[in-house]
Amino acid sequence: MNAGKDQSHPLYHTDRQVVDQLLISEPSDHALAEWARLQIRYQHFPGARDIQRDLTATLTRWGLSQEEVFQRTRAIHRQGKVYRSRVVSQEDWN
């Protein structure tokens, strides 16, 4: 087994797009949740070093620590509104 060889993550291309957005975003609830989700995915992944580097750069730009982001995202997730789509209007035809 090649322990030192980097792997390709199957979601790299879509995640790369999200990270590119995070690099220029402000730390909104959605951005914080996305950062935490990707940090968990890539923190021990043997590859995608550019994503790992850019997640660190995003934290630095935001002036936050990893623990601060995780604390804030836990509170955001408790509210349960992070990934809900925008308000969808439903009509009652009955």
pTM above 0.85, yes or no: no
Going by pLDDT thresholds of 50, 70 and 90, the confidence category of residue 2 is low
Q: Distance (Å, rounded) from C-alpha 86 to C-alpha 36?
A: 21
22 domain-assigned? no
60 domain-assigned? yes
User: What pLDDT score was predicted for residue 3?
Assistant: 59
- List the structure tokens of 49: 């070093």
Domain that holds residue 76: 49-80
pLDDT digits (tens, 9 = 90+) for 3-59: 578 899 999 999 999 999 999 999 999 999 999 999 999 999 999 999 999 999 999
Close Cβ partners of 92 (under 8 Å, ≥ 6 residues apart): none
Q: In 10 A of CB 61, how many CB atoms?
A: 14
User: What pLDDT score was predicted for residue 85?
Assistant: 58
Q: Distance (Å, rounded) from C-alpha 84 to C-alpha 32?
A: 15
What single-letter DSSP state applies at residue 47?
B
User: What pLDDT score was predicted for residue 80?
Assistant: 85
30 domain-assigned? no
User: How many folded domains does the chain comprise?
Assistant: 1
Close Cβ partners of 84 (under 8 Å, ≥ 6 residues apart): none
